[in-house]
Structure 1
Amino acid sequence: MDELIKYAPDLLLSFLKNVQIAAVCAVLSLILGTILVSMRVSPTPVLRAAGTVYVNVVRNTPLTLILAFSALGLSDTLGLSFSQTPSTNGFWLVVLGLSAYTATFVCEALRSGINTVPLGQAEAARALGFTFVQSLRMIILPQAFRVVVAPLGSVMIAMMKNTTVAIAAGYLAESAFTMKDIFDDTGVSIPIFLGLIVAFMAVTLPIGFFTGWLAKRLAVT
């Protein structure tokens, strides 16, 4: 317990980095996931094929490989840089890789929600002269989001936990890396490990409870 108290400020600071990554990725993955699902249900065969290939490839690739590609492929090989500061650059490389990965799960969750919307509504929209984009934006997606609130909550919880592999993209400021350093320095693990578990639960449990409550609140009866 003494070790946990001693290293609590360092652990808290690094844990907040995890929360920061998750918050940014949540926004970006929802945007990208919505674009991907629009492609997957598009009447244009090329867009459907591109969306399908992207989702199937990225979703079935280990996250650590995607993050490593962000660091080694995009940054080191192709020269992609977000900042001259290594920690800031590492942060955005993690955000890029994790958002691209999480967006595929958001896409599939939304696609399952779209499948619950009666086909007659899309046909009625076309009969009224709505374009595909207008129909998707004003009729189909609002209903799809309403249905998949709980699954999206599960995706966000998984994404929060996935921030602990940020080291694969060379980002050394998050909690798992800090925890390992403390283990190596002190040889004490259980109190620090349990403290970090409690910290993650303090974030993920409210997300689960809130999305579960919101799903019931928005449920069509």
Structure 2
Amino acid sequence: MDVHRTRRRPILGAQRALGDCQHPGQHLCAQSAARRWGRRTRQGSPVPPGAGLVLSGSGQWVVVLQTAIGIQLVFAALMKAGGGASLSPFLEAMAIPPVLVRISRVAVPLCEGALGTCLIAGTGWWAALGAAGLSLGFTAILVNATRMGVSESCRCFGALDSGVPTSVSAVRAAVLLAGSLVLLALSTGGPGATSPITDATALPAALTGVLLGVACIACFALLGRTIQFERFRSTLRGSR
């Protein structure tokens, strides 16, 4: 008799949850309530927290932004570490003390790689806060370099940025800052961060974020190369 009653409880609980929704249009609410009831009463087969649920609109934007920003930060770190390009010439052109130049050469790629990985993994709002702080620092330095007339490229994306005007890098950093602030606002005031690693419904949004991040890298690299080529062509015309 005890076994019979135990087996019927999830069914009765689901029926009660369905009965709480008086209007037929509330079937989604009823299904969610029934699912929660079954999760509490089911034994021996725990259900993952996000199983069967669909991300909301703001939740999808969180995944898109955190993946797009994370991809750019990880790519920048890899290009600095493995591409042979260094921030040192740019920082030296800005008259930064040698000690800070040496520290930045190591610390910046490490911070970019760590924050980018945490964003892609959907670890939480603090990763968005770190990305916003890092982007703010990049934007401030690059805007100051533009005002100073520094012609040395920052090489933020390694060899891909070689010769790219500082003004283009400043605009890119500002776009990254804006995206990080939007992500921070959504992460703290909305559904919070998530990841396709723990929630399969986030996979389409994550793939969209990858495409968006790659597109941003490619667009700004192409813009920088175009401006560089136009300046070179103008120099050739002037020398004739």
> What TM-score, normalized to structure 2?
0.35
The one of the two structures with greater contact order (alpha-carbon pairs below 8 A, sep at least 6) is: 1
Greater helix percent: which structure? 1
> What TM-score, normalized to structure 1?
0.37
